[in-house]
Amino acid sequence: MISVQSFHDNPPNSFIDKQFSQDGRFGWLLMMWHPEHSVQLEEIAADLKLSVRNSDVNTVSRIEVEKWLKGYINELHWKMHARLRRSDLSEKGLSVLFAIFFDHELFFVQFGRLFCCLSDGKKLRVAGTDYHHYQMQTLQKLNLLGFADKDIPIKVQRVFIAENHRFLVLSGNLCAQVFDNHSDLAGLTHFVESFSGSENPMWLIIEGKARLIKTKRRKLSRLQISTGVIILLTLLAIMYVMFGNRFLDQLLHRTRITVKRSTALRLDQIPNSLTVDTQNLIKYLERIVNLPARDIELDILWTSTLDYQVTIAPVFSVDNIYLAAENNLFAYNKRSRELVWKKSFEHRINSLFYTENTLLVCLEGDLAFGYKEDGTQNWQQSINSPITDLGILEPSSISPEDDPRLDRSITIVPSSRFITVVDAQRGENLSTITFKEELYSLSTYDSFANCFYAIVNDGLICVQLKIAN
């Protein structure tokens, strides 16, 4: 709740009218200020108070308060406009602040020379209209209530007054002295009250207090919990159908690859239950949605021109692609396709192989090296060197274990200018991609990125395997 800590008005030039509920959780306040000394202001002030008290302000809810304020203030503006036109006042407009609060939340509209700020005990922060912009303004710019002969612009401000925080409303003639010159916020109330003897002063200080009645937490019933679980499961099922392509299976598959390549864990540290649970989960999902791949297509994802002739089929890790050209080794990032690192050797590279987070590089002189993904050398040994022929294109198989989007194995058949996807069980040609130049070599299937890496003439081509279920 909030409570009024200090206020001062100077009838008939200014007045403060307020009303609070018994529990302190709801209330409203009305403030009016005018620079002139006139008896006619008494009748106008009485009319303004009566209008608010006879309104349905006490029945307004938090949800509709902003809409209600805009509608009510618009009607009040025209009512005051008619009343002020008939008066002898030189300034035919009113400075007004009307606020409605719920617990610690305050909704207010302000017009003319009434300005607000919030204090948390450390600094003052402007709330609503900044008085600096209205020190030298025309009456039209001041946005006085009842002044303009057209609908007035109404902006509903919303502030939260936390416990022990204060909300200040000052007339324009006090703003410069309080907001700009006072720094001791602990004695702010006494400082403001010292201006009671100045010309036509007006202020209001509201402080946030602890709630008298604390809202009890409602416990969820069994029916509500059950309904929530059913809705959650329904949403998950809808997401699965919308995204399709067994995205959960792919996520689990890629997660397993990432875990296996982590340098922080050894394979013998991974619990056996992880594999078992994952297999059980995949089997369970396959029982729910056990549809074959309806559409398989090979598509070129990207191409990159090389300034050297590749001599060994590409190999890859989770992040990098590795190419060999005679005695040079190149590592490229998969996503950016930028060169990450390069190594040169005294002898020609005979073969490349990536396993157990290590790139195995075998040279002609029966010498082998082991490298990490970042290019750091792990070891060097004398090993009989195998020879990999770049020109050999052999069929390969992709199983559901390699790609969870599949429910049966497919066969990849490369040739001099083609790559064909075949369903070996049915003898069906599922997809074919054709190259303009000769295909020299094709990597194994990258099950993390769902693609192959092909060497065609002087270029590296990423061939993506698209599968729609």
Residue 343: Cβ-neighbour burial (10 angstroms; 0-12, 13-18, 19+): middle
Question: In which residue are the tokens 């407009």 written?
Answer: 93
Q: Which amino acid is residue 259, in one-letter code?
A: V
Residue environment code for 452-466, b if the CB has 16+ CB neighbours within 10 A, otherwise e: bbbbbeeebbbbbbb
For residue 230, give the DSSP letter: H
Kindly give the residue spans of alpha helices, DSSP state H, lying in 54-150: 65-85, 139-142
* Those residues with Cβ within 8 angstroms of residue 70's Cβ, 6 or more apart along the chain or in another chain: 154, 156
The CATH number of domain 295-468 is 2.120.10.30 = yes
Residue 440 structure tokens: 């020299």
Confidence at residue 273, expressed as pLDDT on a 0 to 100 scale:
44
Q: For residues 366, 367, 373 and 374, what is the CA-based torsion angle, rounded to 10 degrees? A: -150
Task: State the sign of the Cα–Cα–Cα–Cα dihedral 235, 236, 237, 240.
Answer: positive
- φ/ψ region of 446 (left if φ > 0, alpha if ψ in -120 to 50, else beta) reads beta
Nearest to 110 by CA among 87, 139, 67, 142: 142
In this structure, the number of other CB atoms found within 10 A of the CB of residue 336 comes to 8
Alpha carbon separation from 271 to 249, 261, 266 (Å, rounded): 19, 15, 11
CATH class of 2-208: alpha beta
Report the distance separating Cα 291 and Cα 269, nearest Å.
Answer: 35
Domain with CATH 3.60.40.10 in the chain: 2-208
Domain with CATH 2.120.10.30 in the chain: 295-468
65: three-class secondary structure by DSSP: helix
Say if pTM beats, i.e. exceeds, 0.85. no
Contact in structure between 330 and 323 (CB atoms under 8 Å): yes
Contact in structure between 110 and 128 (CB atoms under 8 Å): yes
Contact in structure between 119 and 6 (CB atoms under 8 Å): no
Q: Write out the chain's pLDDT in tens, 469 residues.
A: 788 889 999 888 899 999 988 877 899 999 999 999 888 899 999 999 999 999 999 999 999 999 999 999 999 999 999 999 999 999 999 999 999 999 889 999 999 999 999 988 888 888 988 888 766 677 888 889 999 999 999 999 999 998 889 999 999 888 888 887 777 777 888 888 988 888 889 999 999 887 655 555 667 788 888 899 999 998 887 777 666 666 666 777 777 777 665 544 444 544 554 454 566 666 555 544 444 456 788 999 999 999 899 998 999 999 999 999 999 999 999 988 999 999 999 999 999 999 888 999 999 988 999 999 999 999 999 988 888 777 678 899 998 888 888 878 899 999 988 999 998 877 888 899 999 889 999 999 998 889 999 999 889 999 999 987 6
* Those residues with Cβ within 8 angstroms of residue 461's Cβ, 6 or more apart along the chain or in another chain: 300, 302, 303, 304, 435, 453, 454, 455
Alpha carbon 378 to its chain's center: 42
Task: Note every long-range contact of 7-12, with CB atoms under 8 Å and residues 24 or more positions apart, other chains counting.
Answer: 7/203, 7/204, 7/205, 8/193, 8/196, 8/201, 8/202, 8/203, 8/204, 9/202, 10/200, 10/201, 10/202, 11/42, 11/45, 12/38, 12/39, 12/41, 12/42, 12/45
Residue environment code for 260-273, b if the CB has 16+ CB neighbours within 10 A, otherwise e: ebeeeeeeeeeeee
Report the distance separating Cα 5 and Cα 171, nearest Å.
Answer: 17
Beta bridge partners of 368: 362, 381
Residue 379 structure tokens: 């070891």
Report the distance separating Cα 122 and Cα 367, nearest Å.
Answer: 71
